[in-house]
Amino acid sequence: MDLNDTPEQAEYRQRVRAWLREHQGEAPPRNGSYEDTAYVDARRAWQRRLAEAGLAGVTWPKEYGGQGLGPIEQVTVNQELSAAGVPGILDVIGIGMLGPCLIAHGSEEQKSRHLGPMLHGDEVWCQLFSEPAAGSDLAAVQTRARRREDGGWALNGQKVWTTNAQFAAYGLLLARTDADVPKHKGLTMFIVPMDAPGVTVRGLRQISGEAEFNEVFFDDVALDEDAVVGGVGNGWGTALTVLMFERLTIGFGSESFGSPTRLSETVAADPAARRDPKVREVLGEIISELLAVRFNGYRALTALSRGQIPGPEAGLAKVTMVNAGIRAADLGADVLGPDALEPSSEWSYLISFLPGLKSAGGTEQILRNTIGERVLGLPPEPRLDKGIPFSELRAKEKEAVSR
């Protein structure tokens, strides 16, 4: 048990810290609005600086411009960025999840065309998976890609919850290419240029009033034959690769919702709250859970650094984190009163943001299903969609609703 760096890790940390000390003055603020073009441009430029310094794509192979290092080094970079008070890369989804999928499944042309501009922030990517009627049941996507006579594809449909779509250059899109086979089989992954004719991006305002996500519409968007990633009909397997890297990104423990220190400061500053047994009990429970997530993160990181792939149980950390965050924001607001709900309050954003986050990256219920089945080995729920062609399944669903 050792939370300290090895001599090699310590040396790496020193190098990262030295670079940041020299260059942190060039960094934009950590927080800003992604609806503000100037802020997004500043974050792009900062990502380029990080990439040139070897602080982006830390775990990418060297041949694609990465550093070929391990998860510990990635976490070291995250920690040092955070300690320096500067933002990290803009395109977390591209570099963390979509780039690695291209590296695993893309053609040589796709890799040489796209990975460099992605790494340097010249071309930001978005993930076009979820749809209004396909979230937990992702394989139910209805966005349709039909083969044209010239071998290319015509794309029609709608995606939703798309982070960064408003300024992304490309998206990785899961579409149905064959509705006459069971639903997991008729899927294909595509690279979609976001400036193609027929692509419309619309901001999706949430409870807070901010538009952090988008809806994206595709109206007869023409895609070339070489837009396919990983082969026609192999979209589900390609999507699973992305989801595995999503778990890895969570494993790097880069995000936390609701700071234990800020919550404790809020309680400590109120003499009545500070001595209130109920407040103290809730505070103690929240802090215990957040500490558990932190130290389980170290366990997961150790496993990752030994080459183990994170399993679905990583989702438990997300469940704990989100629910503890909700309780933390609630307690902060209980102590401060209605002022906590004003937009100027630090708690207001969390209070508005967390209910939606419960569904992000897998709803709590879906995560519990997956973990129950894959980790505990419990039998799956009987399914009505197994082995049935997707078109037939949709017809049955429509009939059931109209009855």
Which residues form the interface with another protein (CB under 8 A)? Answer: 1-6, 9, 72, 75, 260-261, 264-265, 267-268, 274-275, 277, 279-281, 283-285, 287-289, 291-296, 298-299, 301-303, 305-306, 313, 316, 319-320, 365, 368-369, 371-373, 375-382
Residue 235 DSSP SS3: helix
Q: Residue 177 corresponds to which amino acid?
A: T
Q: Which is nearer to another protein, 48 or 294 (CB)?
A: 294
Q: Which of 123, 215, 246, 289 is catalytic?
A: 246
Residue 337 DSSP SS3: coil
Query: What's the burial of 149, exposed, middle or buried (CB within 10 Å: 0-12/13-18/19+)?
Result: exposed
Q: Which is nearer to another protein, 69 or 287 (CB)?
A: 287
Cα separation, 323 vs 285, in Å, equals 11
Q: To the nearest whole angstrom, how small is the minimum distance from the Cβ of residue 318 to another protein?
A: 10
Residue 201 DSSP SS3: strand
Instruction: State the CB neighbour count (10 A cutoff) for residue 308.
Output: 10
CA distances from 78 to 3, 23, 82, 85, 86 (A): 16, 16, 6, 11, 10
Q: To the nearest whole angstrom, how small is the minimum distance from the Cβ of residue 299 to another protein?
A: 5
Q: To the nearest whole angstrom, how small is the minimum distance from the Cβ of residue 26 to another protein?
A: 29
Q: To the nearest whole angstrom, how small is the minimum distance from the Cβ of residue 85 to another protein?
A: 17
Active site residue 246: yes
Q: Which is nearer to another protein, 23 or 368 (CB)?
A: 368
Query: What's the burial of 52, exposed, middle or buried (CB within 10 Å: 0-12/13-18/19+)?
Result: exposed
Q: Which is nearer to another protein, 38 or 384 (CB)?
A: 384
Q: Residue 330 corresponds to which amino acid?
A: D
Q: Which is nearer to another protein, 67 or 162 (CB)?
A: 67
Q: Could you tell me which residues are beta bridge partners of residue 215?
A: 160, 202
Per-residue DSSP letters for 134-171? BSSSGGG---EEEE-TTS-EEEEEEEES-TTTTT-SEE
- The distance from CA 150 to its chain's CA centroid, rounded to whole angstroms, is 35
Q: To the nearest whole angstrom, how small is the minimum distance from the Cβ of residue 330 to another protein?
A: 15
CA-based end-to-end distance of the chain = 61
Q: Which is nearer to another protein, 187 or 371 (CB)?
A: 371
Cα separation, 13 vs 7, in Å, equals 10
- The distance from CA 19 to its chain's CA centroid, rounded to whole angstroms, is 27
CA distances from 381 to 244, 371, 373, 385 (A): 23, 13, 9, 12
Q: To the nearest whole angstrom, how small is the minimum distance from the Cβ of residue 161 to another protein?
A: 23
Residue 357: name the closest of 308, 322, 381 by CA: 322
Q: Which is nearer to another protein, 341 or 378 (CB)?
A: 378
Q: Which is nearer to another protein, 155 or 371 (CB)?
A: 371
Q: To the nearest whole angstrom, how small is the minimum distance from the Cβ of residue 290 to another protein?
A: 9
Q: To the nearest whole angstrom, how small is the minimum distance from the Cβ of residue 281 to another protein?
A: 6
- Active-site residue set: 246
